[in-house]
Structure 1
């Protein structure tokens, strides 16, 4: 299973390089199901892996002129505040067992995976149904962009998800960016959010297996290199529904496994 996990880690970077998101959607299931990492710890590992890989891809997209710094900062700064609130104040206070239904105990780890899968399914349906809007010469709505950034920060803080599957639609519809610029800008936001989240985890003393973490990240880097090169040749708009179906399948699998197979 570990060899399969290392191969799957390449797809983490491939996803980030091609569509600017989805790295965390893959990272959490890979860590939990293939490497048997506890979901709570997997959220910390995911922040490092996705954040490091996003930085690598961000530099490549900067050279291609696909970064919109102003939009990224309006989105990322509110995210930072919500991430810190969730990871440093709220998350540590959540008990391991939340409540019981008959003989079934609802744990923190169970809740992480179920909420994660529901978010995946919702996001996937959005990507499958909606098409990217054509670029229009209208003013970017920075207030709405910041509000959405705050909400994505909550997701990042609770689930250890970079939030690219939420950031991309926000940049398309509220920052009015074409797909390729949305991808590059998304990577910058993911890097900022993930770095803050992982730094907070180090501050509160989360135990980290660095050799394992760096190994997974290196495989993700390989995927990012491939994905970034392919993004120059493939229309990003065509990738959205394909990626959406993949996310949908993953989400259904996770929720089915957690509820019926555990």
Structure 2
């Protein structure tokens, strides 16, 4: 039985992950952590996960939950996730990280830390999106450079980072399939007299509002036709179930940084 703990367990995503863990065979909830002062600290884990009281309470120190879990599932914020990764690297505890908004410097540090522990990291843990990451590379290669690529993403008003981590990953997949880097060809804003569109550009546009769970559309725009590939998330359960599947998969793996495509067996 895999023993799992959840960081950010008092949030919308964290509490739902806790509930999915409680419903899933082969894994059990043994801990939860929140920042000091959060109202969830001290509350019973069972009640947070929609179960009867279990006698375990939410901690405000990650060290306490790492001492009793096999894997820590983390959907928090970049600085908090980095702190948790540092602590997990010290104990060799596996992690699943769905946090987005990491900088290149953060990622360099994460790659170093995951030399000491196994970690699945993905901006989006749904099966559909991760299949899309793979299919998009093939579609880009088949259509060739004559098709302009634009990506539009929409999320709820509370999301803090933009573009979404999923949109960036989609754009990276297209750029890599074209033999470029997103740093070279990504375009995140248009305003005023912008001139003719450079053919190599990959545009990323952001929409924020309401309670949109997550929507991403990749446009391949040719002369006389266009292809649109859209993924819409109708609930956070897609991400939660993917994270729990990743947690069961990563325990016992060698140290290293893994993606959801590794979990699904479709990594290139």
Fold-level similarity (TM above 0.5): no
More strand by share: 2
TM-score (norm. length: structure 2): 0.24
Higher relative contact order (CA 8 A, sep 6+): 1
TM-score (norm. length: structure 1): 0.25
